[in-house]
Amino acid sequence: MRAAAMKIGELASLTGCPVETIRYYEREGLLPEPARSASNYRLYAGSHAERLRFIRHCRTLDMTLDEIRTLLDYHDHPRQPCNAVNGLIDEHLAHVEARIEQLQALRGALVALRSRCSGEADSSQCGILSALAQPAAEEITAHRESSHVPGPHGSH
Amino acid sequence: MRAAAMKIGELASLTGCPVETIRYYEREGLLPEPARSASNYRLYAGSHAERLRFIRHCRTLDMTLDEIRTLLDYHDHPRQPCNAVNGLIDEHLAHVEARIEQLQALRGALVALRSRCSGEADSSQCGILSALAQPAAEEITAHRESSHVPGPHGSH
DNA sequence: ACACACCCTGTAGTCGCTACAGGGTCAAGC
DNA sequence: GCTTGACCCTGTAGCGACTACAGGGTGTGT
């Protein structure tokens, strides 16, 4: 008796990954094309669930699909020593740490900005608005090239 | 004698904002349409430079264009007390702080992951790859709805 | 017989730019 | 006067990682 095949909705609720995202990963070549039923429904096996969990785990770590593709490649072809896996993680870790530092600088700037207005006056007097009209400080302007981790507007 | 009008390239080098981004802000309604020369070139006055600096400053603070639009609206129509300006900043600050916390949890997870592999073995033995095949820990999985600040892959 | 949940493909929208393609304008140098 | 090159114009498509349809087929329960 083989492992039970499941339809895409079952895989979705099993992994917490939306149906449309699963199809997207397939288009992107991260998930192999599954078998099809007579009525053309996708039929997944346990190995698909495993692979999808791998992908979603990497995504919660904010890796790009390209980084994940590389990891999956190591997973699929266990050849050379996995130094490159370490390297990828290290690089990603560096990106995350850089982004944390940027955001902390940003936070400082926002706190300073916030302190400029008590909220009582008319907005023509507002210290926040007038401060924003000045060019930004260097400390914050500079950081635009070091990181690749998304800012606060990524995931509602 | 009126303020000297400048072409888009001058405004760009004055503010450090790429030409195409300036045109984009105009399309988005953040910058008003400037006057045009006989040969249809955009001609900007000092007020445009000020407004563009305002926008760019807000962008270095990772505000969305929508948030900036709201601030510009307060700037343009100084009516009621500016509590809403404070509210917007506070909310944005909360987003940034939430994102910092997420990234710190993420960093912890990556450090833990990194420690699982010495890099000597074949990648079939790699502790990193096998750890990634497990579902992600809750602590990290949970955070997908609290913040809207981009992660590490935003700005190369 | 019908409702309703699920599945399919394909396309367009999100955000904040960035990068063309395909043209026009203008000043300097030969 | 003619060419070179830097600048300007409009319009459209691409990025990443989804998300959200539109417009259809399938499968189950009553």
Residue A31 is given by DSSP the state S
Sorted by sequence, the CB contacts under 8 Å of residue A112 that are 6+ apart come out as none
Q: Summarize pLDDT for A30-84 with one digit per residue, the tens.
A: 999 999 999 999 999 999 999 999 999 889 888 899 999 988 888 887 666 677 7
Question: Inter-axis angle of helices B46-60 and B19-27, to 10 degrees?
Answer: 90
Tell me the nearest-neighbour CA distance from B143 into chain A, angstroms.
9
Contact call for B136 and A57, based on CB within 8 A? yes
User: Residue B6: phi, psi to the nearest 5?
Assistant: -120, 155
Least confident of A49-58, A110-119, B93-102, B130-139: B130-139
Q: A42 with A8: CB under 8 angstroms?
A: yes
Nearest chain A residue (CA) to B113:
A89
User: How long is the CA B65 to C1' C18 vector, in angstroms?
Assistant: 17
Dist CA B19 CA B15 (whole Å): 10
- Band of the pLDDT at B87, cuts 50, 70, 90? confident
Residue with tokens 């609720």: A13
Provide the token pair at B111: 């450090």
Distance CA A148, CA A139 (A): 18
Our measurement of CA A20 to C1' C13, in angstroms, reads 15
**Summary count for chain B: helices (H), strands (E):** 7, 2
Q: Is 0.85 topped by the overall pTM? A: no
The C-alpha atoms of residue A43 and residue A35 are separated, in whole angstroms, by 5
User: Per-residue pLDDT averaged across B95-122, rounded?
Assistant: 80
pLDDT of residue B112: 83
Three-state DSSP at A50 gives helix
Percent of chain B at pLDDT > 70 equals 76
Residues in contact with strand C, defined as Cβ under 7 Å from any of its atoms: A 7-10, 12, 19-20, 23, 40-42, 153; B 18, 20-21, 24, 37-40, 59, 64-66
Q: What are phi and psi of B47, to 5 degrees?
A: -65, -30
**Are B61 and A140 in contact (CB < 8 Å)?**
yes
Q: What is the mean pLDDT of chain B?
A: 82
Q: Does A105 touch chain B (CB under 8 A)?
A: no
Alpha-carbon torsion (B44, B45, B46, B47), positive or negative: negative
In whole angstroms, what is the distance from residue B120 CA to residue B148 CA?
Answer: 39
Nearest by CB to residue A114, choosing from B77, B83, B93, is: B93
Interatomic distance B117 CA / D29 C1' (Å): 53
Instruction: Tell me what pLDDT residue B145 has.
Output: 53
